[in-house]
A and B are shown apart, each in its own frame.
Chain A
């Protein structure tokens, strides 16, 4: 596509463009593309790096048209090596650049794991604050796309466990547009997990709106009987379950986590204090997961508000199965309902 075709963004005129109401229905891939374009236009130090992100526009087309618009020095097709991508991004950050790395698929991040956890996450601390590490690592993640092995994983807990990283995941096109720009503006490294199965459904993007804080969790449906919580693609599943539950007379409040590290516990605890019940859902395996951490923390901090144990609904503690079984592996609205029924039975 030409650089400007279906470009929904306020172009390179920057944030001073008059903020007339500009809401468009876009899929998340286009919203991310718009957010990246805005970031590239706003700051000449922003660079995109990754495999196949140039003429191809990335395997998911998130960077489509950006190399043609900003040049090969700013939208860089790198050699095929994840440690090399992250490691050179660190060097560029030391030189004052703000690299945004694309990891092609969730399961391909592990060759870069050492550079992320031992270097990127620790360098600011090692340097005693003398310099910052403004690096964003975009990771398309999760199942429900019928993919082969290594293309459907949810590895976010590894990174949420690592001090020095910030970890976020948008669930809607509007959040994707704003959160990617906030992540790029952060002076700390941000792991940016993009839910692949939500790449294509359209949603409203308010280009004249204001960004919610990057690390804020948010109530996206109000209810009174039980709180359900998730991030990324699972938020849409929770919304389905809430609808089903409403038909059965159960009022469900849905919280979109948005940030996995740090976790914004305020809205979560407020919600649980109101409903007395919590179900945490995730595509990732449940053992030692983000959902486990949140369940434990809520049990510590809201013990006297709880009418039932906090339940987790997760992917099984087995490797992600062949695609024909993924709908059995991943929690769906029925499995969420099963958990809602159990907490309502207390």
Chain B
């Protein structure tokens, strides 16, 4: 895949990017993709339709979130526009027993794993710092968002160390063997915690798959400021094998992640995937990309849109208007439901401040909670 000259590090001659779908939506298996081709054979037509459906629904969700933010319903919105293929493909590659440690832009992954993405609205609205319970099996082992860049990569590594101790790695039983899939961005690769996660995971040979979505921007700073070499090379000095994949190709994202999750589950140690993609929207609703982005590069990436590409592929395979119309309607209904439920969200109770700071009784929390309740009640008495 052609780099973006003004954003990327100096390309190396040998950069091998795994791609199955050309931007025109043609399926081509050649070069570095050949190693992964067998993983596509696992996919049924229903799977392919599910990939498309999730990508479209999450983009519509993203648009609704942005609109709700502009209408004052949230202080902040974090868009995922443009990264749908990287997220949906990799998320579908994970098995139910795998655990996911997201950064904070993985709305599509959360949707695939089964969380109610209204929780993301609640988080960004200021109703909660978390939102979904990762210990509830219906949430697909999707752990909480983590806003301190890169810090969760160590949690993912420790979690995988626990899996090793629990004997759920390398048993050969596909229903038992598990791995941890951890998402982060190009900016995070500069954080010390990410390097330490590589050190610890390599040292213990943990079942981690580190999935880097290189969306080319850390807020306003292009990826070439983070690295002088392509980022997929970053992990190799730590002894972690790596691959670069076209992150706007949902099939490549799926196949590459499936293969490396298999490797991790089977006891081959940590794996690193760099998915090349692009943040079409702003970093967040507080950002202004017009101050820094190159419109030519931007337009180039918009032309590589992952959903449009996959739609061309599905149409060439024979999928007709009825399916695409149905998905569009489903996405609109989904967004309308999110809007409806957002507008009736109420502020959390006062106890939220104190109730879970500690898991066991704590005299200061009890005392301050009581004080605040009485203080608040004193105003009601005055009004009475």
A interface residues with partner B (beta carbon < 8 Å): 47, 73, 78-79, 81, 83-84, 86-97, 111, 114-115, 118-119, 122-133, 163-164, 166, 186-188, 262
Q: Mark B161-182, 1 if CB is under 8 A from A, else 0.
A: 1111110000000000000000
Residue B160 at the A interface, CB < 8 A? yes
List residues of chain A with CB within 8 A of the CB of B359: 124, 129, 132-133, 187-188
Cβ-defined contact, B130 with A127, below 8 A:
yes
Pick the contact of B200: A84, A96, A127 (CB < 8 A). A84
Interface flag for B196 (CB, 8 Å) = yes
Give Cα distance in the complex from A12 to B297, angstroms: 65
Q: Is B340 an interface residue (CB 8 A)?
A: no
Q: Please tell me if the beta carbons of A92 and B196 are within 8 angstroms of each other in the complex.
A: no
CA distance A183 to B171 in the complex (A): 35
Q: Which of A90, A124, A128 counts the most chain B CB atoms within 10 A?
A: A128
CB <8 Å contact, B360 and A186 = yes
Bound-complex Cα distance A169 to B199 (A): 32
Are B128's CB and A84's CB within 8 A? no
Residue of B nearest to A47 (CB): B165
**Chain B residues whose C-beta falls within 8 Å of the C-beta of A115 in the assembled complex:** 151, 154, 193
Q: Which of B154, B159, B160 contacts A83 (CB 8 A)?
A: B154
Whether B148 contacts A127 by the Cβ 8 Å rule is no
Q: Is B347 an interface residue (CB 8 A)?
A: no
- Chain A residue contacts of B338, Cβ below 8 A: none
Answer whether A94 and B159 are a contact pair too, CB < 8 Å, given A114-B148, A119-B151.
yes
Q: List 23 A-B contacts (CB under 8 A).
A: A79-B199, A79-B200, A84-B157, A84-B199, A87-B158, A87-B193, A87-B197, A88-B161, A88-B200, A91-B155, A91-B160, A94-B158, A94-B162, A95-B159, A111-B192, A114-B151, A114-B193, A127-B130, A127-B356, A133-B359, A164-B357, A188-B360, A262-B362
Render B333-362 as a binary contact track against A, CB cut-off 8 A, 1 for contact.
Answer: 000000000000000000000011111101
Q: Which residue of B lies closest to A187 (CB)?
A: B359
Chain B residues touching A, range: 35 or more
B199 & A81 in contact (Cβ 8 Å cutoff): yes
| CB–CB B155/A128 < 8 A | no
Q: How far is the CA of A125 from the CA of B358 in the complex (A)?
A: 7
Residues of B within 8 A of A78 (CB): 200, 203
Asked whether, in the complex, the Cβ of B151 is within 8 Å of the Cβ of A87, the reply is yes
Residue B133 lies at the interface, judged by CB distance under 8 Å to chain A: yes
Q: A92-B159, A127-B130 are in contact. Are A262 and B199 (CB under 8 A)?
A: no
Residues of B near A90 (CB, < 8 A) are 154-155, 158
Q: With an 8 A cutoff between CB atoms, is B49 at the interface?
A: no
Hey, which chain B residues are within 8 Å of A97, CB to CB?
A: 162, 165
Q: How far is the CA of A47 from the CA of B192 in the complex (A)?
A: 24
Q: Give the interface of B toward A (CB within 8 A).
A: 128-130, 133-136, 143-144, 146, 148, 151, 153-166, 192-193, 196-197, 199-200, 203, 355-360, 362-364
Is A118 touching B151 in the complex (CB atoms < 8 A)? yes
Tell me the smallest distance from the CB of B353 to a CB of chain A, in Å. Answer: 9
Chain B residues, Cβ within 8 Å of A86: 154
Given pairs A47-B165, A97-B162, 5 additional interface contacts (CB within 8 A): A88-B154, A114-B148, A119-B155, A125-B357, A164-B358
In the complex, what residues of A have CB within 8 A of residue B129's CB?
Answer: 122, 125-126
Partner of A262 from the list B155, B196, B363 (CB cut-off 8 Å) is B363
Contact A128 B130 (CB under 8 A): yes
Q: Closest residue to B162 on the A side, CB-wise?
A: A95
Asked if A118 meets B148 with Cβ closer than 8 Å, knowing A84-B196, A187-B360, the reply is yes
Chain B nearest CB, measured from A213 CB (Å): 11
Q: Are B358 and A124 in contact (CB under 8 A)?
A: yes
Residues in chain A near residue B148, CB distance under 8 A = 114, 118-119
Q: Residues of A contacting B146 with CB < 8 Å?
A: 119
A213 to B374: give the CA distance in the assembly, Å.
30
List of B residues within 8 angstroms of A93 by Cβ:
158
Determine the distance from Cα of A5 to Cα of B153 in the docked complex, in whole angstroms. Answer: 40
Minimum C-beta distance from B83 to chain A (A): 24
User: Would you give the shortest CB distance from A268 to chain B, in whole angstroms?
Assistant: 13
Is A129's CB under 8 angstroms from B356's CB? yes
A73 to B163, CA, bound (A): 12
B196 & A94 in contact (Cβ 8 Å cutoff): no
Query: Assuming A114-B148, A130-B136, is B157 touching A91 (CB within 8 A)?
Result: yes
Knowing A91-B162, A131-B135 are in contact, say whether A83-B196 is a contact too (CB < 8 A).
yes
Cα distance, A78 to B200, chains bound together (Å) = 8
Identify the closest chain B residue to A74 (Cβ).
Answer: B165
Contacts of B200 in A (CB 8 A): 78-79, 81, 84, 88
Determine the distance from Cα of A130 to Cα of B160 in the docked complex, in whole angstroms: 20
> Which residues of chain B have C-beta atoms less than 8 A from A83's C-beta?
154, 192-193, 196
Asked if A127 meets B165 with Cβ closer than 8 Å, knowing A87-B197, A91-B159, A119-B155, the reply is no
B162→A96 contact, CB < 8 A: yes
Q: How far is the CA of A94 from the CA of B158 in the complex (A)?
A: 9
CB distance from A113 to the nearest CB of B (A): 12
Distance of A186 Cα from B359 Cα, bound (Å): 9
Given A115-B151, A129-B355, A132-B359, are A89 and B158 also a contact pair (CB < 8 Å)?
yes
